[in-house]
Structure 1
Amino acid sequence: MLKTIGFFLGLLFFTHCAFSERIVNTDGVRNALKVRFKIFKDVPRSEAEAIEMNFTKISDCETEHFRGKQYMRYGDPLIIPLFDVNGYIAGLQTGVPVGLDNNYPPAIMQPPFIQDGDLFKLTAYFVDPLLICKRGRSKQQFIRTGTGQDLFIQTGKDPETDILEIDEHMTETKWVQGLCFPQMGYHYFKEVSLDMSCETFFPVALLYYHGELQGFVWSLGAILNSTFVSYEYPEPEFFLELLKEVPTCLNTLRRSTMHVYFKDNIDTFTCKAPPAKESPCTSDSAFPVLEKILIVWFSIFMLIKMTY
């Protein structure tokens, strides 16, 4: 009898630990979509939220060069959220007006910039573009995966084939590692070098922290304005805080940037060594549950003994 009780207690302890691990691992869900360093303004993650925030639909889900229903707020091209066929967030665009004085973006950057009317658009997808307009995500999938599980940068006119898939884990990316900055994370840049031409400076940087992809940055070679939220205007010397070797051309080039975050844990991006992660499966965490079970089993055991 005691052996049987011991067996069941051991089984319950194992179950408690496994369940605890499962709960803890849910913190990887992208539970937000925020923009602008120090302001962290929310971007709508559903069509219903977009309408409440005075965004207006400007396209159907499937167009010649893009996937996802595009929404804009008062014609401001800084933030153009993309929603799937079911109305859940599927990606994000930003637009640069055609005909800027400095002729940005240069021809060599077209694509990833793709002209759409009077805008050059950059597009990032958070789910596979093949699925966005065909079946989208269900409510349950949105709850489970939040702002999507992927990041694809569109690099050509075909949104289903001309895409650059971004690695989820920092150790797997081939992009050039930069430096860590609090509330930004580690910046990663695509093919940067000291003597590069800024015409080839890729307009997207990646943000990693806690070893995982946390967001990205639009980095645009022009001074732009927005009514949704103000752009970031880094001084040239600020790149010394982001890159180990700053391309010479950035010393005189002014840019408009925008940080995009997938989670609301931005305050944990301290650039300090993170504490060792403790397993929730410990005797201390399991003891209150096991204590109650043991009392019940002991009561049953005594009752059986008294009966016989």
Structure 2
Amino acid sequence: MREYMTSNPVVALTLTLLLLVLCPRAYRVVETWEHVTVRYGVWEDLPVLQSAAFQRGYRRLNDVCKTDYYHGFMFSRGDNTKAMPIYDLNGALAGVQSRFRLPIGQRGYNSQNETISLPPVEVMPPVLKAFSDGRGSQHYTVTAYFNHPSLICSPLVSPGVLPGRGLYIQMGFNPARHFLSVPLHDRDLSPLWVRGSCLPQMGTHYFSNLSRALPCEKLYPLFLMYNWEGQLAAFGWLFQGRPYSLRSNDGVEWFRLTTPTYPFLFDTSQLPPCMFQEGFQVFGIHVYLRRHETLVCPRENPQRYPPSDKAHGNIRHSAPASQQTHDINNNEKIDIRGNYDGVNISRDEQFNSVDIRDKANRKPSSSNDCPVARDSSLILLTSVILLFMSVVR
């Protein structure tokens, strides 16, 4: 069949045009996530356009796209800093930042059950210092982008940068260079990411380096959630301690977990003993990229999830790459994905300047959306060439 299609340009072109009508995703990049929602306390949909944000009572915080702390135009509403949407030059939703502060003098715990300052230096980045409010309170931020960070404030696409939706975690104060690219499918995660529980309307959780041997000061702030097909569906932030303010006036609040409520998020068999220290607690928030009602937990397929020793601590690295900056020689490569480009950390940039490049996990569209799309580009190209040859003859 394929031979007949490629030998007859009229048939090939007709079928290709039909494919474009029936399956337009085959030839376009999916620019945005279908549904961006923050969750706890209430479900809050983030406005997908800057104009809609103004209509819903948000105010813009900056007039210059590139700031010293993030890229894009950030909006907030009232006292809610838990999920502040970021828009690109075209006014489209391009990211979200969470900002928090801790009560003055609050202490946390390390693996020896000794008290430590919060947030621990081991989780910076992705936690970054923002500003001090002049009353002794330090504010901190974590920022995620839904498009490549170099595209947020630029109308031009840089060489080697693929457009389209994704998830990029800011790892320094120049997000165009300092970011972590999150795989869009769980099969592309490195062994660093440990599969946890699957919970209805939340999906299958993955935590970085989580095991019973993990020091509590290295509890990584980012966790990921994938749907039953293994597609990225949501992510969340997780911090040790308790926030200065739990709830915003609009009803959005941090989730807060202590030992009795750990099963809300964790498989407790994977947790280190220090997390069961009296007084230990965590807080955070979920950010959904797909509709939560589609995140179900069917019976696991043993071929999809083969037996693994991830939960027992047999992981390649003892901490996320961003936490190993001081131990890495200049130009050493670390494979954060397991089989793709690694992490290039320059010694002179040090702690808050981690250059993480990942080009392999960006896919214009899914073959599950259009099963026949995998051969369509070849067919279209062949059709054009044959038509041109027939005209020349």
Same topology, TM > 0.5: yes
State the 1:131 CA deviation. Answer: 1.0
* Structure 2 partner of 1:217: 236
CA distance in 2, matches of 1:11, 1:154: 45
CA distance in 2, matches of 1:166, 1:30: 14
* Structure 2 partner of 1:108: 122
* Structure 2 partner of 1:254: 281
Structure 1 residues 157 and 16, CA gap change in structure 2 (3 angstroms) = closer
Comparing 67-76 with 125-134, greater Cα deviation is found at 67-76
How does 1:177-188 map onto structure 2 within 5 Å?
A: 177-188=195-206
- 1:37/1:183 contact within 8 Å kept: no
* Structure 2 partner of 1:141: none
1:150-189 Cα offsets, whole Å, 9 max, x none, are 1111122221111111000111112111110100001111
How does 1:153-232 map onto structure 2 within 5 Å?
A: 153-174=169-190, 175-209=193-227, 210-224=229-243, 225-227=246-248, 228=250, 229-232=252-255
The aligned amino acid for 2:129 is Q
Where structure 1 has 5 or more consecutive residues not aligned to the other structure, the ranges are 1-6, 138-144, 282-308
Q: Secondary structure at the match of 2:256?
A: coil
State the 1:136 CA deviation. Answer: 8.0
- 2:146/2:167 contact within 8 Å kept: yes
Q: Secondary structure at the match of 2:54?
A: helix
Q: Secondary structure at the match of 1:36?
A: strand
State the 1:134 CA deviation. Answer: 1.2
Pick from 202, 216, 239: which aligns with 2:262? Answer: 239
CA distance in 1, matches of 2:153, 2:14: 45
CA distance in 1, matches of 2:22, 2:262: 40
Q: Secondary structure at the match of 1:218?
A: strand
CA distance in 2, matches of 1:188, 1:171: 12
- 1:180/1:187 contact within 8 Å kept: yes
* Structure 1 partner of 2:167: 151
Pick from 51, 61, 65: which aligns with 2:65? Answer: 61
Structure 1 residues 154 and 11, CA gap change in structure 2 (3 angstroms) = closer
CA distance in 2, matches of 1:16, 1:180: 41
Structure 1 residues 203 and 57, CA gap change in structure 2 (3 angstroms) = same
CA distance in 1, matches of 2:255, 2:102: 21
Cα-Cα RMSD = 3.3
State the 1:258 CA deviation. Answer: 1.1
State the 1:49 CA deviation. Answer: 1.7
CA distance in 2, matches of 1:36, 1:269: 14
- 1:34/1:40 contact within 8 Å kept: yes
What is the TM-score when the length of structure 1 is the normalising length?
Answer: 0.74
Structure 1 residues 34 and 154, CA gap change in structure 2 (3 angstroms) = same
Structure 1 residues 280 and 155, CA gap change in structure 2 (3 angstroms) = closer
Comparing 125-134 with 46-55, greater Cα deviation is found at 46-55
State the 1:13 CA deviation. Answer: 11
State the 1:58 CA deviation. Answer: 1.3
1:289-308 Cα offsets, whole Å, 9 max, x none, are xxxxxxxxxxxxxxxxxxxx
How does 1:1-308 map onto structure 2 within 5 Å?
A: 18=19, 22=23, 30-36=33-39, 39-59=42-62, 60-97=64-101, 100=104, 101-102=106-107, 103-118=117-132, 119-135=139-155, 149-174=165-190, 175-209=193-227, 210-224=229-243, 225-227=246-248, 228=250, 229-240=252-263, 242-243=266-267, 245-252=270-277, 253-264=280-291, 266-273=292-299
State the structure with bigger RCO (CA 8 A, min sep 6), 1 or 2.
Answer: 2
CA distance in 2, matches of 1:258, 1:110: 18
CA distance in 2, matches of 1:274, 1:44: 35
The aligned amino acid for 1:200 is K
CA distance in 1, matches of 2:102, 2:262: 27
How many residues are aligned here? 263
CA distance in 2, matches of 1:279, 1:151: 23
Which structure has the larger Rg?
Answer: 1
| Runs of 4+ in structure 1 over 4 Å off | 10-21, 23-26, 277-281
Q: Secondary structure at the match of 1:117?
A: strand
